[in-house]
Amino acid sequence: MDRRKFIKTAGMTALGASVLPFLKFSSATAAPSGSAVVVIGQTINSLDIHRKGTNRPSYQIAVNCYDRLLSFGTKKMDDGSLSYDYSKLEADLAESWETTADGKSIIFKLRENAVFSDGSPVTANDVKWSLDRAVSLGGFPAVQMKAGSLIKPEQFVVINEKTFQIDLIRPSKLTLPDLAVPVPMIINSKVAKANSTTDDPWATEYLHRNPAGSGAYKVARWDPGQQLVYERNDKWTSGSLPGVKRVVVREVPSGATRRALIERGDVDISFGVSDKDARELSGRDDLSVVSTPIENCIYCLCPNLSFTPFKDKLVRQAVAFALPYEEIFKLAAYGQGVPMWGASDNSPKDTSWPQPFPYANNIEKAQELLSRTDYKKGFEVPLSINLGLSSWMEPTALLIQEGLAKIGIKATIEKIPGANWRTAALVEKKLPLHLENFGGWLNYPDYYFFWAYIKGHLFNSSNYDNPEVKQLVDETLHMEINDPVYSDKVKRLIKIAFDDVPRIPLWQPTLNSVMSQDLSGYEYWFHRQLDARKYNKGKG
Amino acid sequence: MMYPQSRVGTVVRRLGQALPVLFGVILATFVLTRALPGDPAAFFAGPAADEKSIAEIRKALGLDRPLPEQFLVYLRDLSRGELGTSISTGQPVSEELIRRLPASLELTFLALLISMIIAVPLGILAAINPGKLIDHICRILTTAGVSLPTFFTGLGLVFIFYYILGWAPAPLGRLDFAYLPPPHVTGFYLIDGAFAAEWDTVYAALSQLMLPCVTLALFTLAPIARMTRASMIQVLSSDFIRTARAAGLTNYTVLIKYAFRNALLPLVTTLGMVFSFTLGANVLVEKVFAWPGIGSYAVEALVVADYAAVQGFVLSMAIIFLILNLIIDILYTFIDPRIELGN
């Protein structure tokens, strides 16, 4: 992009260079019209979600610069804020789709007018190349595709220019929603192929820096470690054009600085703020704070069954009754989120997930339960937390330590750096007692159970093993939710989780963002990353 | 007095002596990064990775090979000038260093300049008037300077000058987003902007530099002022100053020409140390001001066990240290003709 043009279009008038730097600085940071400035705390490390090592904040490129075959609808939350609607699958690049009579394939009809940002039409060949890439590069994309039973290129068939077919290895309710997550984005295969090499047939080096999609925005500029500038793709066909022409995403590591920036009104939105800031800024007239409970996500305390005392269900239940839930929620979450304790009934009423567990702070009950075990005198256990998430884990751990001390369990807090955490907690699963924050993108209870309650699966860091749970998950994972037996089976799963408590839920966290009143169109998505496609300024 | 030719010879000899040191640094960093707990493959495999995808990442990173082989591969890449790709930022390490090092250097240089302009006269004045008001001011400033953590000073300055008064620009890194960086020549925005005659960019860069520079200057002021004061007091009490005064030389000549020049040696040493320390250690200042510097890069890389980035950082810092020490040694010979290089 032309440097001069950028400055001009950014609406900057030259500042008098004669003014001394420390005298009143005229607000150059007030965003030029038609652009929005976003601050985030993390850094974007790639423009390609399929690349190895791409971090979560980078997923926003897949959202803003690419389209998928399908997308989700939008719903209004109780507080008036917007959220994507998991229950409503909508067309994106596909205009219609249907399952064949034999139930073995799904046929997608691509929209006639769909074009990539370079103007070339989106064809079934592009779709096939993109999905082939998602299942072939390995790593996280392959795992996510596999969740939708999409595992090999042979499943993806080009019928003609605008018709595409997916052959199913099994009918599954997860297949269609999995096509609407960020991973199966549709890439302009002509551009990608032109930039591929024999060593790099999937053009990972090129797409790492140059998105080639049909999405609402293009990347105008990327200064790694500093900023990313989106520019509207005026050829976008998958929705009404975004109201904001240019979105500048600035990376500001310090939370205090981000807060000063949004409070001063120099930026339009601070994306993903701490619970503390969200609580403290919520009363202000000039800012709006949106806190959305993160679907299918629970902050848990996990007693590890490979640690002998926790093999006993009663010990786990005693721990669950010894926790000071209210204080933890107030002090560690600043009251942001949904309580996951205090259900009155030992059986779930419905299949909603997450839902409160039938535990509450009750020391007598905890002592009574513990006295029926071999550990009536208590025991010592290290309580591990992830230093990378210390903002909520540290206060939580301190309060848990206090609670456990009351029933004679002596917990020593062990802080583990971020890089070691995954290995220790999730891969080796060797932490006797630890805090955990798994959330699933696909919003079904059975999907959560699949990852977190089955022996050997990544997020089952408690080493929980129950053949009945395994069987129930196998049965329900791909079953449609309107299947007559689905609801009973899921309720049974939840009932077992209530009773066995290999994971002790604390609360369901929220995603918080603070924005100026001027900005509208903020929408929560399960991927918890910036989606600027509906942003609008000045009409809020 | 040494001749310039022999200085050149000495510089070459010193650089030659540095090679084994550099190899030692390379080996030590390699071993130390590998000895760090934590598995980069597991970390970078992503939020829902299984054993298989972690193994794939490990293979892609070359971490499945034996350590000696990894080291040889690393040496081979180094000899081609490749520092590898940082997996956490997704960029080649050399590119990141070229982009980030000038950011840190610009900040550090300017901060040191500010702090010297204040600290050196302050130290001299305090030495001339020990126990007087100026000496107490010096003591208070230096004590405050070392005892206030930089992130605290930084946040405090942001709070006062940006948040309350609105005098300083938004702490958004090296340039406000309305500007584009000047064409890359040195990587120093002030210099590159001046080359391109983009004065508004120079101005914008300077305003962004102000608060972080003052923060760092407050911190580096202490050792410089203390060292100036101590070294001046020592020199002022020595015989040749008494002789000079007795000979009726003016106060200025005695203080600046004789005393200060002699007091410079320990000061230059301190400056070198403060510089190298500040360059790598101003992580907190970088965080507060969203400064894309080298310190935060190294810390982030270390946290996620990003081997290539850590190795590249240590190597470049080692080279900077070597050059810096060489410059200081050469400066010595200018300040004190009795000192010879290389012995």
How many distinct structural domains can be found in chain B?
A: 1
Beta bridge partners of A433: A303, A383
> In terms of residues, how long is chain A?
540
CB contact under 8 A, A458 and B49: yes
- Residue A23 banded pLDDT, cuts 50, 70, 90: very low
Q: Which tokens belong to A258?
A: 């981000």
Helix or strand or coil: residue A156?
strand
Chain B partners within 8 Å of A204 (Cβ): none
Q: Is residue B210 part of a domain?
A: yes
Q: Is residue A515 part of a domain?
A: yes
Q: Is residue A143 part of a domain?
A: yes
Residue A230's pLDDT is 96
Residue found under tokens 């019209």: A33
pLDDT value at A10 more than 70: no
Q: With beta carbons less than 8 A apart as the criterion, state whether A370 and A406 touch.
A: no
CA atoms within 13 A on the CB side of A143: 21
Measured CA angle at B303 (ends B297, B308), to 5 deg: 60
Q: Is residue B277 part of a domain?
A: yes
Amino acid making up residue B86: S
pLDDT value at A356 more than 90: yes
- CATH code at B215? 1.10.3720.10
pLDDT value at A399 more than 90: yes
**Crossing angle of the two packed helices A390-405 and A313-322, in degrees rounded to 10:** 110
pLDDT value at A50 more than 90: yes
Residue B4's pLDDT is 53
Smallest Cβ distance to B56: which of A56, A139, A388? Answer: A139
Q: Which tokens belong to B136?
A: 């107490």
On whether both A454 and A321 belong to a single domain, the answer is yes
pLDDT value at A286 more than 80: yes
When scoring A144, A249, A427 by the number of chain B Cβ atoms within 10 A, the one with the most, hence best to mutate, is A427
Q: Which tokens belong to A186?
A: 């549709």
DSSP state of A244: -
Q: Which tokens belong to B204?
A: 């914008």
Contacts of residue B59, defined as CB under 8 A and 6 or more positions apart, other chains included, come to none
Residue B47's pLDDT is 58
Chain B partners within 8 Å of A418 (Cβ): 43, 303-304
Residue B217's pLDDT is 92
Min Cα–Cα distance to chain A from B28, Å: 21
Smallest Cβ distance to B54: which of A7, A27, A427? Answer: A427
On whether both A325 and A440 belong to a single domain, the answer is yes
Using left for φ > 0, alpha for ψ between -120 and 50, and beta otherwise, residue B184 falls in beta
Q: Rounded to the nearest 5°, which phi and psi values hold at A32?
A: -65, 155
Cα–Cα distance, A389 to A417 (Å, whole number): 9
Min Cα–Cα distance to chain A from B165, Å: 9
Residue A213's pLDDT is 95
Residue found under tokens 């070339």: A120
When scoring A257, A457, A458, A527 by the number of chain B Cβ atoms within 10 A, the one with the most, hence best to mutate, is A257
When scoring A43, A174, A254, A297 by the number of chain B Cβ atoms within 10 A, the one with the most, hence best to mutate, is A254
On whether both A267 and A310 belong to a single domain, the answer is no
Q: Is residue A144 part of a domain?
A: yes
Q: Is residue A15 part of a domain?
A: no
Question: Chain B neighbours among A 122-161 (CB < 8 Å)?
Answer: 138-140, 142-144, 147
On whether both A321 and A265 belong to a single domain, the answer is no
Calculate the CA dihedral of residues A143, A148, A151, A155 and round it to 10 degrees.
-160
Q: With beta carbons less than 8 A apart as the criterion, state whether A527 and A72 touch.
A: no
Mean pLDDT of A24-52: 74
Residue A172's pLDDT is 94
On whether both A96 and A234 belong to a single domain, the answer is no
Mean pLDDT of B79-100: 86
A538 vs B271, which has greater pLDDT? B271
On whether both A456 and A327 belong to a single domain, the answer is yes
Q: Is residue B53 part of a domain?
A: no
What is the end-to-end Cα distance of chain B in Å, rounded?
Answer: 15
On whether both A410 and A527 belong to a single domain, the answer is no
DSSP secondary structure string for all residues of B146-194: HHS-HHHHHHHHIIIIIIIS--SPP--SSS-TTS-PPPPSSS-HHHHHH
Q: Is residue B164 part of a domain?
A: yes
On whether both A411 and A274 belong to a single domain, the answer is no
Residue B12's pLDDT is 82
DSSP state of A166: E
Mean pLDDT of A500-509: 96
The model's pLDDT over B273-303, given as tens digits with 9 standing for 90+, comes to: 888 888 866 788 888 898 998 888 888 888 7
Pairing of strands A82-91, A523-524: parallel
Q: Is residue A1 part of a domain?
A: no
Q: Which tokens belong to A318?
A: 């005693």
A525 vs A5, which has greater pLDDT? A525
On whether both A459 and A323 belong to a single domain, the answer is yes
Smallest Cβ distance to A52: which of B57, B172, B300? Answer: B57
- CATH code at A499? 3.10.105.10
Buried b or exposed e, range B20-53, using 16+ CB within 10 angstroms:
eeeeebbeebbeebeeeebbbbbbbbbbbbbeeb
Q: Is residue B331 part of a domain?
A: no
- Residue B333 banded pLDDT, cuts 50, 70, 90: confident
The model's pLDDT over A35-45, given as tens digits with 9 standing for 90+, comes to: 899 999 999 99
Smallest Cβ distance to B44: which of A3, A53, A147? Answer: A53
Min Cα–Cα distance to chain A from B85, Å: 11
pLDDT value at A26 more than 80: no
The model's pLDDT over A203-248, given as tens digits with 9 standing for 90+, comes to: 999 999 999 999 999 999 998 888 999 999 999 999 999 999 999 9
- CATH code at A189? 3.90.76.10
Min Cα–Cα distance to chain B from A423, Å: 6
Q: Is residue A492 part of a domain?
A: yes
CA atoms within 13 A on the CB side of A135: 19
Of A532, A36, A517, A520, residue with least CA distance to A241: A532
Q: Rounded to the nearest 5°, which phi and psi values hold at A344?
A: -85, -25
Measured CA angle at B87 (ends B81, B89), to 5 deg: 95
Range with lowest mean pLDDT among A368-382, B6-20, B143-157, B260-274? B6-20
Range with lowest mean pLDDT among A6-10, A196-200, A221-225? A6-10
Q: Does ipTM exceed 0.90? A: no
Chain A partners within 8 Å of B37 (Cβ): 417, 419-420
Residue A33's pLDDT is 55
Q: Is residue A2 part of a domain?
A: no
On whether both A220 and A175 belong to a single domain, the answer is no
The model's pLDDT over B188-233, given as tens digits with 9 standing for 90+, comes to: 999 998 888 888 889 999 999 999 999 999 889 989 999 999 999 9
The alpha helices in chain B, defined as continuous H runs, are 4-35, 40-44, 51-60, 67-79, 93-128, 133-147, 150-157, 189-195, 199-236, 239-246, 251-252, 261-281, 283-288, 294-303, 307-335
Q: For chain A, what percent of residues have pLDDT higher than 90?
A: 81
Range with lowest mean pLDDT among A78-82, A173-177, B98-102, B175-179? B175-179
Q: Is residue B93 part of a domain?
A: no
DSSP secondary structure string for all residues of B236-285: HTSHHHHHHHHTT--HHIIIIIIIIHHHHHHHHHHHHHHHHHHHHHTHHH
How many distinct structural domains can be found in chain A?
A: 3
A411 vs B276, which has greater pLDDT? A411
Range with lowest mean pLDDT among A463-472, A506-515, B167-176? B167-176
Give whole-number Cα distances, B24 to A503, B78, B314, in Å. Answer: 48, 14, 12
- Residue B86 banded pLDDT, cuts 50, 70, 90: confident
A108 vs A423, which has greater pLDDT? A108
Question: A-B interface: how many C-beta pairs under 8 angstroms?
Answer: 199
Cα–Cα distance, B140 to A189 (Å, whole number): 66
Expressed as residue numbers, the domain containing B268 is 102-291
Mean pLDDT of A507-536: 94
Cα–Cα distance, A155 to A170 (Å, whole number): 11
Chain A partners within 8 Å of B169 (Cβ): 25, 28-29
Pairing of strands A156-160, A163-167: antiparallel
A62 vs B336, which has greater pLDDT? A62
pLDDT value at A269 more than 90: yes
On whether both A410 and A350 belong to a single domain, the answer is yes
Q: Is residue A202 part of a domain?
A: no
Expressed as residue numbers, the domain containing A322 is 299-508
CB contact under 8 A, A264 and B166: yes
On whether both A429 and A516 belong to a single domain, the answer is no
> In terms of residues, how long is chain B?
343
The model carries a pTM of: 0.85
DSSP state of A137: S
Q: Which tokens belong to A400?
A: 């848990």
- Using the Cβ of A33 and the Cβ atoms of chain B, whether some distance falls under 8 Å is answered with no
